[in-house]
């Protein structure tokens, strides 16, 4: 047997000269028999080879992985059964710089039928792990079980920087089983803390710089639809660029206030007032002494998901007869 | 061998041509995200791309039957995917799986970190990536695409996340949930996609619970014949099972589903299939905390709509407690389903005889 091995090696002298060199993300295989199988592996056990492509470069063959194989991972190139290991390299860990910038609503008093939170991060995050890192704790520090609608397809914005966290609607809606059996997720008079733990990873795979906590007190349920007729306006003077302000009398949904309240005739910038209780508008040009009209899309919501003229859960008296109006509501005013 | 590789590389030259009548064009497919999957007409894979607010039909070209395909028992699918993608399992998220009913090859929508991909596991157990550099596909936009709904600052944060897809009666049904206003939608798109057609948007009210209605999010759905008419069988996030006639799902219509089963509290539906065994139809539903449920699907029309919240009303169900950690399921063949199960940190794929 030994003799046979020697003879075979003699016949394939070229195989002994095989060398593999890593050039950044490319693996250069020199001296390989052209027919040899070439594959790159990472990970242990029965794993398939890394996806990638082969091309020739002079007498060499180059393997280019489909995706970057980090140098912090050990890998091995196998050429015709011979293993060329590339041990993991020590790399400096990336700095933990990503933070939770804000959680909306910013108010510290939240209705018992609160519908959602927005968690805004300083940089894009990695989807798919929110439910491992986000918790709601009661006053004793115990997690509130199944408080949120934990769907796999997490509700991120396009940039991956803002996560929408819905409370389980089954524990808000009246007359459904989860509410009658589990009770509400939030109880009026109690204090809670929303926690985003520091192990939540950003787009780079780097954990947050710090844990984030937001504590709040739960107040009575809000079962009142939004009524723009009850809003108060602070009107600027003509010829100035003072802000126009609408005071809602309650906090409204931060994202929807900025998107669904518009003053199309005036170029300018809307901003949220403290605790999302106000919409302020600063025009680019001074106000003119004319009549203006603000449009309010009826999809605007308060913290409990009540819309303009329509409650989150409607008492239907068994039949649904009307389709909710999609038309805007309007607020008219004159600048003097 | 080497010549073959070189040939394969040079063949990826860019070309774009359209297949007449199908809307399919062969060119590079840019995925913003890869979410729910469903197979439609032979070889056509539908992919929900929430980031681009669109639904994509990919012609996989995978139309050959594999009659010899046997059972699957694959442990550590996430480790294998990670190894093939040159990374660690914690970087891999499997969003959905769909089985090609013709070939029985399994397709997965996967994120590697934040990069969306479609992977294919063939009946021989070989894992490959669906090459999107030049692939026959067509795309249709969801109405109210984010580009149309910038806020007054020109910001573009609204997204509608596609939570499930299904194909029936020549239409693709798409369930979506907004990340801003609390609205869920069910839309239907005729396939082949018609460029100028606006999708039908249907509002479904989950109003059978006493006297309160809300615009309820559909979590997962499938289609099924009820009283000889095609119906959508939809499971809501708060787990009632609802039937809706497909004929009512037309543009702008407001539909009230009929609640036929309450599946208990502390429960979130994940995935659902319908199958036949010994001449009888059943529904199999994977849930987050209640394991897998089996419900008889015969004569669903005979159940009274549930109007009061009571445990175990309506269609009776049994819980198959031995099936733990089921994340996804799909029909494999007449006698078995494929289940993706989480066991510790290992995502395992296996065929399970239909109960």
Q: Cβ contacts of residue B90 below 8 Å, gap of 6+?
A: none
**Residue A10 DSSP symbol:** H
List all residues of chain B from 103 to 142 with a beta carbon under 8 Å from chain A.
111-115, 126-129
B163 touches chain A (CB under 8 A): yes
List all residues of chain B from 264 to 293 with a beta carbon under 8 Å from chain A.
264-266, 268, 270, 288
Q: Cβ contacts of residue A12 below 8 Å, gap of 6+?
A: A33
Percent pLDDT > 90 in chain B is 37
**A·B CB contacts under 8 A:** 235
H or E stretch at A26: strand A26-30
Tell me how close the Cα of A219 comes to any Cα of chain B, in angstroms.
21
Q: Are B249 and B226 in contact (CB under 8 A)?
A: no
Q: Which residues of A touch B163 (CB under 8 A)?
A: 151, 153
Q: Cβ contacts of residue A33 below 8 Å, gap of 6+?
A: A12, A14, A15, A80
The span from the CA of B37 to the CA of B106, in Å, is: 11
Q: Are B205 and A320 in contact (CB under 8 A)?
A: yes
Q: Which residue of A has its CA nearest to B313?
A: A177
Tens digit of pLDDT for each residue in B10-54? 333 344 566 667 789 999 999 999 999 999 998 999 999 998 889
B82 touches chain A (CB under 8 A): yes
Q: Which residues of A touch B125 (CB under 8 A)?
A: none
SS3 label, residue A6: helix
Domain containing residue B221: 206-321
Q: Are B174 and B224 in contact (CB under 8 A)?
A: no
Percent pLDDT > 70 in chain B is 77
3-state secondary structure labels for all residues of chain B: CHHHHHHHHHCCCCCCEECCCCCCEEECCCCCCCCCEEECCCCEEEEEEHHHCEEEEEECCCCCCCCCCCCCEECCHHHHHHHHCCCCHHHEEEEEEEECCCCCCEEEEEEECCEEEEEEECCCCCEEECCCCCEEEEEEECCCCHHHHCCCCCCCCCCEEEEEEEEECCEEEEEEEECCCCCEEEEEEECCCCCCCCCEEEEEECCCCCCEECECCEEEEEEEEECCEEEEEEEECCCEEEEEEHHHCCCCCEEECEEEEECCCCCCEEEEEEEEECCEEEEEEEECCCCEEEEECCCHHHCCCCCCCCCCCECCCEEECCCCCEEEEEECCCCEEEEEEEECCEEEEEEEECC
* Partner-chain residue, chosen from A66, A177, A255, that has the shortest CB–CB distance to B157: A255
Q: CATH code for A100-219?
A: 2.60.40.1220
Is B237 inside any structural domain? yes
The span from the CA of A170 to the CA of A296, in Å, is: 28
Residue of A24, A175, A204, A246 to mutate when probing chain B, most B C-beta within 10 A: A175
Under an 8 A CB cutoff, do A320 and B85 touch? no
Is B233 inside any structural domain? yes
Q: Cβ contacts of residue B62 below 8 Å, gap of 6+?
A: B43, B100, B102, B103, B105, B120
Neighbours of B353 (CB within 10 A): 10
What length does chain B have? 355
Q: Cβ contacts of residue A320 below 8 Å, gap of 6+?
A: B205, B207, B213, B254, B256
Tens digits of pLDDT across chain A (336 residues)? 343 433 333 333 344 589 999 999 999 999 876 667 899 999 988 999 999 999 999 989 999 999 999 999 999 999 988 999 999 999 888 999 999 999 999 999 999 999 999 999 999 998 888 999 999 999 999 999 888 988 888 899 988 999 999 998 777 766 565 566 667 889 999 999 999 999 999 998 899 999 999 999 999 999 999 999 999 999 999 999 999 999 999 999 999 999 999 998 999 989 999 999 999 999 999 999 999 999 999 889 999 999 998 888 764 433 333 444 556 889 999 999
Residue B49 pairs with which residues in a beta bridge? B54
Question: What pLDDT is stored for residue B18 in this prediction?
Answer: 64
The span from the CA of B31 to the CA of A42, in Å, is: 26
Q: Which residues of B touch A307 (CB under 8 A)?
A: 181
Under an 8 A CB cutoff, do A126 and B238 touch? no
A38 phi and psi, to 5 degrees?
A: -125, 130
Q: Which residue of B has its CA nearest to A69?
A: B86
Q: Which residue of A has its CA nearest to B183?
A: A299
Q: What angle do CA A27, B130, B269 make, to 5 degrees?
A: 120
Domain count for chain B: 1
Question: What pLDDT is stored for residue B185 in this prediction?
Answer: 75
Q: CATH code for A228-334?
A: 2.60.40.1220
**Is the backbone of residue B160 left (phi > 0), alpha (psi -120 to 50) or beta?**
beta
Q: Are B98 and B330 in contact (CB under 8 A)?
A: yes
**Cα separation values, B341 from A104, A218, B205, B324, Å:** 35, 38, 32, 7
Q: Which residue of B has its CA nearest to A56?
A: B6
Positions in chain B whose pLDDT score sits under 50: 1-15, 145-148, 196-197, 207-213, 310-312
Neighbours of B214 (CB within 10 A): 23
Is B120 inside any structural domain? no
The span from the CA of A226 to the CA of A297, in Å, is: 11
* Partner-chain residue, chosen from A159, A253, A316, that has the shortest CB–CB distance to B213: A316
* Partner-chain residue, chosen from A55, A153, A175, that has the shortest CB–CB distance to B6: A55
**Is the backbone of residue A49 left (phi > 0), alpha (psi -120 to 50) or beta?**
beta
The span from the CA of B36 to the CA of A285, in Å, is: 47
List all residues of chain B from 143 to 162 with a beta carbon under 8 Å from chain A.
146, 149-153, 155-159, 161-162
**Residue A107 DSSP symbol:** -
The span from the CA of B231 to the CA of B283, in Å, is: 13
Is B138 inside any structural domain? no
Question: What pLDDT is stored for residue B259 in this prediction?
Answer: 76
Is B232 inside any structural domain? yes
Picking from A288, A300, A294, the residue whose alpha carbon sits closest to that of residue A246 is A294
Q: Which residues of A touch B213 (CB under 8 A)?
A: 313-314, 316, 320
Under an 8 A CB cutoff, do B2 and A70 touch? no
Question: What pLDDT is stored for residue A250 in this prediction?
Answer: 97
The span from the CA of A269 to the CA of A262, in Å, is: 10
Q: Is the peptide bond before B192 cis (omega within 30 degrees of 0)?
A: yes
Question: What pLDDT is stored for residue A321 in this prediction?
Answer: 39
Question: What pLDDT is stored for residue A83 in this prediction?
Answer: 95
Under an 8 A CB cutoff, do B239 and A170 touch? yes
Buried b (16+ CB within 10 A) or exposed e, B220-249: bbbbbebeeeebbbbbbbbbbbbbbebeeb
List all residues of chain A from 128 to 157 with a beta carbon under 8 Å from chain B.
128, 145-146, 149-157
Is B41 inside any structural domain? no
Question: What pLDDT is stored for residue B184 in this prediction?
Answer: 72
A102 touches chain B (CB under 8 A): no
Question: What pLDDT is stored for residue B208 in this prediction?
Answer: 40
Under an 8 A CB cutoff, do A176 and B238 touch? yes
**Residue A328 DSSP symbol:** P
Six-digit token string for A241? 């660029």
Q: Are B62 and B100 in contact (CB under 8 A)?
A: yes
Under an 8 A CB cutoff, do B84 and A51 touch? yes
């Amino acid at each position: 047997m030994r003799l046979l091995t020697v003879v075979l090696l003699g016949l394939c002298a070229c195989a002994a000269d095989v060398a593999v060199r890593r050039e950044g993300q490319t693996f250069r295989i020199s001296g390989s028999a052209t027919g040899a199988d070439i594959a790159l592996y990472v990970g242990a056990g029965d794993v398939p080879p890394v996806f990638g492509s082969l091309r020739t470069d002079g007498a060499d063959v180059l393997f280019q992985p489909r995706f970057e194989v980090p140098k912090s991972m050990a890998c091995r190139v196998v050429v015709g059964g011979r293993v060329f290991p590339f041990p993991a390299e020590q790399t400096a860990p990336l700095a933990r710089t990503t933070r939770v910038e804000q959680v909306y609503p910013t108010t510290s008093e939240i209705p018992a039928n609160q519908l959602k939170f927005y968690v805004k991060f300083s940089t894009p995050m990695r989807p798919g792990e929110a439910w491992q890192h986000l918790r709601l704790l009661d006053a004793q520090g115990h997690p509130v079980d199944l408080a949120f609608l934990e769907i796999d397809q997490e509700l991120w914005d396009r940039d991956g920087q803002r996560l929408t966290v819905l409370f389980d609607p089954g524990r808000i809606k009246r007359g459904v089983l989860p509410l009658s059996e589990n009770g509400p997720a939030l109880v009026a008079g109690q204090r809670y803390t929303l926690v985003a733990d520091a192990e939540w990873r950003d787009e780079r795979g780097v954990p947050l710089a710090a844990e984030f906590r937001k504590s709040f007190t739960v107040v009575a349920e809000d079962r009142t639809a939004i009524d723009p007729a009850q809003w108060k306006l602070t009107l600027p003077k003509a010829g100035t660029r003072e802000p126009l302000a609408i005071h809602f009398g309650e906090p409204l949904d931060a994202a929807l206030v900025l998107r669904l309240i518009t003053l199309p005739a005036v170029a300018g910038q809307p901003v949220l007032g403290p605790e999302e209780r106000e919409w302020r508008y600063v025009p680019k040009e001074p106000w003119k002494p004319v009549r203006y009209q603000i449009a309010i899309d009826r999809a605007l919501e308060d913290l409990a998901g009540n819309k303009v003229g329509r409650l989150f859960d409607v008492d239907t008296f068994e039949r649904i007869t009307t389709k909710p109006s999609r038309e805007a509501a309007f607020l008219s005013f004159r600048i003097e | 061998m080497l010549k073959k590789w070189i040939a394969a590389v040079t063949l990826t030259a860019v070309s774009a041509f359209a297949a007449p009548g199908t809307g399919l064009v062969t060119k590079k497919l840019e995925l913003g995200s890869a979410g729910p999957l469903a197979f439609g007409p032979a070889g056509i894979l539908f992919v929900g791309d929430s980031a681009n607010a669109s639904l994509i039909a990919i012609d996989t070209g995978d139309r050959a039957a594999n009659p010899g395909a046997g059972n699957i028992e694959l442990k550590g699918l996430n480790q294998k995917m990670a190894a093939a993608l040159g990374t660690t399992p914690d970087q891999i998220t499997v969003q959905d799986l769909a089985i090609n009913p013709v070939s029985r090859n399994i397709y997965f929508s996967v994120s590697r970190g934040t990069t969306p991909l479609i992977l294919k596991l063939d009946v021989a157990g070989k894992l490959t990536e669906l090459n999107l550099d030049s692939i026959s596909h067509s795309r249709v936009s969801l109405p109210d695409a984010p580009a149309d709904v910038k806020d007054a600052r020109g910001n573009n944060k609204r997204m509608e996340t596609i939570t499930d897809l299904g194909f029936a009666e020549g239409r693709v049904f798409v369930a979506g949930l907004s990340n801003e206003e609390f609205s869920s939608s069910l839309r239907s798109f005729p396939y082949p996609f018609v460029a100028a057609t606006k999708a039908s948007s249907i509002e479904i009210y989950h109003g059978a619970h006493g006297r309160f209605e809300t615009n309820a999010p559909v979590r997962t759905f499938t289609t099924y014949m009820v009283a000889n008419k095609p119906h959508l069988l939809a499971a809501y996030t708060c787990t009632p099972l609802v039937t809706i006639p497909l004929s009512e799902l037309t543009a702008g219509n407001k539909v009230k589903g009929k609640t036929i089963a309450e599946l208990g509290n502390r429960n979130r539906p994940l995935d659902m299939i319908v199958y036949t065994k010994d001449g009888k139809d059943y529904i199999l539903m994977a849930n987050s905390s209640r394991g897998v449920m089996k419900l008889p699907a015969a004569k669903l029309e005979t159940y009274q709509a549930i109007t009061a919240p009571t445990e175990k009303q309506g269609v009776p169900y049994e819980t198959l407690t031995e099936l733990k950690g089921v994340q996804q399921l799909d029909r494999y063949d007449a006698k078995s389903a494929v289940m993706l199960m989480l066991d510790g940190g290992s995502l395992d794929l296996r065929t399970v005889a239909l109960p």
